[in-house]
Chains A and B, each alone.
Chain A
Amino acid sequence: MHKESELRPPLILGDKTWHDITEDVCRPVESKANKWWWLAFSLAVAALLWWIVAVSYTLGTGLGVWGLNKTVGWAWDITNFVWWVGIGHAGTLISAILLLFRQKWRLSINRSAEAMTIFAVICAASFIVTHMGRPWVAYWPIPLPNQFGSLWVNFNSPLVWDVFAISTYFTVSLVFWYTGLIPDFAVIRERATTKWRKRIYTLLSFGWVGSAKNWQRFEEVSLVLAGISTPLVLSVHSVVSMDFATSLVPGWHTTIFPPYFVAGAVFSGFAMVQTLLIIVRKVLGLEDYITIYHIDMMNRVILITGSIVGVAYLTEFFIAWYSGVEYEQYAFINRATGPYWWAYWSMMTCNVITPQLFWSTKLRESVFATFIISIFVNIGMWFERFVIIVTSLHRDYIPSSWTMYHPTWVEAGIFIGSLGLFFTCFLLFARVFPVIAMSELKTIIKSSSEGAKKKHAKTVTQEVNV
Chain B
Amino acid sequence: MEKKYWKGVEELNNSPEFTRLRDNEFFENLPIDEVLQNKASSTSSTSRRDFLKFLGFGVAAASLAACEAPVKKAIPYVVKPEEITYGVPDYYASAFFDGNDYCSVLVKTREGRPIKIEGNELSSVTKGGTNARVQASVLSLYDSARLTTPLSSKKKATWSEVDAAITSKLAQSAASGKKIVILSSTLPSPTTKKIITEFSSKYPTTEHIVYDAVSYYGLLKGNELSFGKSMIPSYRFDNAEVIVSFAADYLATWLSPIEFARQYAITRKLRDGKKNMSRHIQFESTLSLTGSNADNRYKLKPSQLSSAVANLYNKIAAVTGGASVSSSATPQDKAIEKVAQELLNAKGKSLVVSGSNDPNEQVLVNAINHLLGNYNTTINLNQECNLRASNDAAVIELMSKMNAGEVGTIIFWNTNPIYSLPNSKDFQSALAKVGTKVSFSDREDETAQYCDYVAPEHHYLESWNDLEPYKGYYNLVQPTIRPLFNTRQPQESLMKWAAMPQADYYAYLEENWKSNVYALQTGITSGHAFWTQSLRNGVFEVAVTAPSAPAFTGNVQDAASKITKPGTGVELVAYEKTGIANGAHANNPWLQEFPDPISKVCWDNYFAILPSYAAKMGYKQGNVIEVKVGNTSVKGPVLLQPAMADETIAIAVGYGRTKVGKAGNNVGVNAYPLVTIANAAMKYYSAATVSKTIEDDYPLAATQTHHTMMGREIVKETTLSAWLKDAKAGNPEEMIETPYGKKKVEDVDLWASQKNPGFDRPNHSWGLGIDLNACIGCGACVVACNAENNVAVVGKDEVMRSREMHWIRIDRYYSSDVTKENASEKGLGKLDMYGEMEKPAAENPDVVFQPVMCQHCNSAPCETVCPVVATTHSSEGLNMMAYNRCVGTRYCANNCPYKVRRFNWFEYTNNDKFPYTMTDNLGKMVLNPDVVVRSRGVMEKCSMCVQRIQYGKLEAKKAGRRPLDGEINTACAQSCPTNALVFGDYNDPQSEVNKLAVDGRSYHLLAEIKVKPGVFYQTKVRNKEEGKEA
Residues of the B chain whose Cβ atoms lie less than 8 Å from the Cβ of A243: 891
The digit string for A245-275, where 1 denotes a CB below 8 A from any CB of B, is 0111100000000000000000000000000
Residues of the A chain whose Cβ atoms lie less than 8 Å from the Cβ of B704: 400-401
**Do residues A62 and B937 form an inter-chain contact, with CB atoms below 8 A?**
yes
Task: From A62, A134, A247, A404, give the contact of B865 (CB < 8 A).
Answer: A247
Interface residues of B in 419-461 (CB under 8 A from A): none
User: With A140-B887, A398-B899, A400-B704 in contact, is A154–B798 under 8 Å at CB?
Assistant: no
Nearest CB of A to B440, in Å = 41
Task: From B712, B801, B895, give the contact of A69 (CB < 8 A).
Answer: B801
B906 CB–A CB distance under 8 Å: yes
Which of chain A's residues has its CB closest to B830's CB?
A: A333
**Do residues A398 and B886 form an inter-chain contact, with CB atoms below 8 A?**
no
User: With A64-B803, A69-B802, A132-B888 in contact, is A249–B894 under 8 Å at CB?
Assistant: yes
Give the complex CA separation of A246 and B1007 in angstroms: 19
Which of A61, A158, A243, A399 has the most CB atoms of chain B within a 10 A radius of its CB?
A: A399
Residues of the B chain whose Cβ atoms lie less than 8 Å from the Cβ of A152: 869
The digit string for A374-413, where 1 denotes a CB below 8 A from any CB of B, is 0000000000000000000101111111111000000000
A156 CB–B CB distance under 8 Å: yes
B831 CB–A CB distance under 8 Å: yes
**Do residues B903 and A397 form an inter-chain contact, with CB atoms below 8 A?**
no
**Do residues B705 and A157 form an inter-chain contact, with CB atoms below 8 A?**
no
**Do residues B905 and A141 form an inter-chain contact, with CB atoms below 8 A?**
no
Which of chain B's residues has its CB closest to A389's CB?
A: B894
Which of B798, B887, B1005, B1011 has the most CB atoms of chain A within a 10 A radius of its CB?
A: B887
User: With A62-B936, A159-B865, A403-B705 in contact, is A73–B887 under 8 Å at CB?
Assistant: no
**Do residues B867 and A397 form an inter-chain contact, with CB atoms below 8 A?**
no
**Do residues A153 and B867 form an inter-chain contact, with CB atoms below 8 A?**
yes
A67 CB–B CB distance under 8 Å: yes
**Do residues B834 and A133 form an inter-chain contact, with CB atoms below 8 A?**
no
Nearest CB of B to A70, in Å = 5
Residues of the B chain whose Cβ atoms lie less than 8 Å from the Cβ of A400: 704, 706, 809, 811-813, 850, 852
**Do residues B936 and A402 form an inter-chain contact, with CB atoms below 8 A?**
no
Residues of the B chain whose Cβ atoms lie less than 8 Å from the Cβ of A333: 830-831, 834
A63 CB–B CB distance under 8 Å: yes
Secondary structure type dominating chain A contacts: loop
The digit string for A148-162, where 1 denotes a CB below 8 A from any CB of B, is 100111101111100
Give the complex CA separation of A135 and B938 in angstroms: 11
The digit string for A227-249, where 1 denotes a CB below 8 A from any CB of B, is 00000000000000001001111
Which of chain A's residues has its CB closest to B800's CB?
A: A69
**Do residues A398 and B714 form an inter-chain contact, with CB atoms below 8 A?**
yes
Give the complex CA separation of A246 and B864 in angstroms: 10
Residues of the B chain whose Cβ atoms lie less than 8 Å from the Cβ of A393: 894
Give the complex CA separation of A402 and B705 in angstroms: 7
Interface residues of B in 847-904 (CB under 8 A from A): 850, 852, 861, 864-869, 885-891, 893-895, 897-899, 901-904
User: With A68-B905, A73-B890, A396-B897 in contact, is A403–B802 under 8 Å at CB?
Assistant: yes
A137 CB–B CB distance under 8 Å: yes
User: With A64-B798, A134-B937, A154-B866 in contact, is A401–B899 under 8 Å at CB?
Assistant: yes
**Do residues B893 and A337 form an inter-chain contact, with CB atoms below 8 A?**
no
**Do residues B712 and A326 form an inter-chain contact, with CB atoms below 8 A?**
yes
**Do residues A138 and B831 form an inter-chain contact, with CB atoms below 8 A?**
no
Interface residues of B in 802-839 (CB under 8 A from A): 802-804, 809, 811-813, 830-831, 834-835
**Do residues B710 and A154 form an inter-chain contact, with CB atoms below 8 A?**
no
Give the complex CA separation of A153 and B937 in angstroms: 19
Which of chain B's residues has its CB closest to A70's CB?
A: B802
**Do residues A160 and B811 form an inter-chain contact, with CB atoms below 8 A?**
no
User: With A71-B899, A400-B852 in contact, is A247–B894 under 8 Å at CB?
Assistant: yes
Nearest CB of B to A395, in Å = 8
Residues of the A chain whose Cβ atoms lie less than 8 Å from the Cβ of B936: 62, 133-134
Which of chain A's residues has its CB closest to B711's CB?
A: A326
The digit string for B670-706, where 1 denotes a CB below 8 A from any CB of A, is 0000000000000000000000000000000000111
Give the complex CA separation of A443 and B852 in angstroms: 68
Residues of the A chain whose Cβ atoms lie less than 8 Å from the Cβ of B906: 61-62, 64
Residues of the A chain whose Cβ atoms lie less than 8 Å from the Cβ of B558: none
Give the complex CA separation of A64 and B710 in angstroms: 30
**Do residues B939 and A396 form an inter-chain contact, with CB atoms below 8 A?**
no
Interface residues of A in 336-391 (CB under 8 A from B): 337
Give the complex CA separation of A337 and B808 in angstroms: 32
Give the complex CA separation of A326 and B709 in angstroms: 12
Interface residues of A in 98-141 (CB under 8 A from B): 131-135, 137-138, 140-141
User: With A152-B869, A154-B869, A159-B865 in contact, is A133–B937 under 8 Å at CB?
Assistant: yes
**Do residues A159 and B889 form an inter-chain contact, with CB atoms below 8 A?**
yes
Give the complex CA separation of A232 and B939 in angstroms: 33
**Do residues B866 and A157 form an inter-chain contact, with CB atoms below 8 A?**
yes
Which of chain B's residues has its CB closest to A134's CB?
A: B937
A324 CB–B CB distance under 8 Å: yes
Which of B705, B812, B938 has the most CB atoms of chain A within a 10 A radius of its CB?
A: B705
Task: From A70, A246, A337, A398, give the contact of B897 (CB < 8 A).
Answer: A398
Residues of the B chain whose Cβ atoms lie less than 8 Å from the Cβ of A71: 802, 899
Task: From A62, A141, A327, A399, give the contact of B867 (CB < 8 A).
Answer: A141
Which of chain B's residues has its CB closest to A61's CB?
A: B906
Give the complex CA separation of A153 and B888 in angstroms: 14
B633 CB–A CB distance under 8 Å: no
The digit string for A57-90, where 1 denotes a CB below 8 A from any CB of B, is 0000111100111110110000000000000000
B708 CB–A CB distance under 8 Å: yes
Nearest CB of B to A402, in Å = 4
A50 CB–B CB distance under 8 Å: no
Task: From A73, A159, A402, give the contact of B893 (CB < 8 A).
Answer: A73
B393 CB–A CB distance under 8 Å: no
**Do residues A70 and B893 form an inter-chain contact, with CB atoms below 8 A?**
yes
B629 CB–A CB distance under 8 Å: no
B945 CB–A CB distance under 8 Å: no
A225 CB–B CB distance under 8 Å: no
Task: From B866, B894, B937, B938, give the contact of A73 (CB < 8 A).
Answer: B894
A330 CB–B CB distance under 8 Å: yes
Residues of the A chain whose Cβ atoms lie less than 8 Å from the Cβ of B760: none
Give the complex CA separation of A393 and B894 in angstroms: 7
Nearest CB of B to A107, in Å = 40
User: With A131-B889, A140-B885 in contact, is A157–B864 under 8 Å at CB?
Assistant: yes
User: With A134-B937, A402-B705 in contact, is A70–B803 under 8 Å at CB?
Assistant: yes
Nearest CB of A to B711, in Å = 8
B749 CB–A CB distance under 8 Å: no
User: With A157-B867, A397-B898, A398-B898 in contact, is A151–B939 under 8 Å at CB?
Assistant: no
Give the complex CA separation of A141 and B864 in angstroms: 14
B907 CB–A CB distance under 8 Å: yes
Nearest CB of A to B936, in Å = 5
Residues of the B chain whose Cβ atoms lie less than 8 Å from the Cβ of A304: none
Give the complex CA separation of A453 and B830 in angstroms: 62
B62 CB–A CB distance under 8 Å: no
**Do residues A249 and B899 form an inter-chain contact, with CB atoms below 8 A?**
no
Residues of the A chain whose Cβ atoms lie less than 8 Å from the Cβ of B834: 330, 333-334, 337
The digit string for B582-607, where 1 denotes a CB below 8 A from any CB of A, is 00000000000000000000000000
Residues of the B chain whose Cβ atoms lie less than 8 Å from the Cβ of A157: 864-867, 891
User: With A70-B804, A333-B834 in contact, is A154–B867 under 8 Å at CB?
Assistant: yes
A163 CB–B CB distance under 8 Å: yes
> Would you list the 8 A-B pairs with minimal beta carbon distance, nearest first?
A133-B888, A133-B937, A64-B905, A73-B890, A69-B802, A401-B899, A400-B811, A159-B867
Q: A248-B1011, A404-B705 are in contact. List 17 more A-B contacts (CB 8 A).
A: A63-B905, A70-B804, A73-B903, A74-B890, A131-B889, A133-B903, A140-B867, A153-B868, A157-B891, A247-B894, A248-B895, A330-B834, A334-B834, A393-B894, A398-B1006, A399-B708, A400-B704
Q: Name 16 A/B residue pairs within 8 A (Cβ), A-sorted.
A: A63-B905, A67-B801, A69-B802, A71-B899, A74-B890, A151-B869, A154-B867, A243-B891, A246-B865, A249-B894, A333-B830, A397-B1006, A398-B852, A398-B899, A400-B704, A401-B706
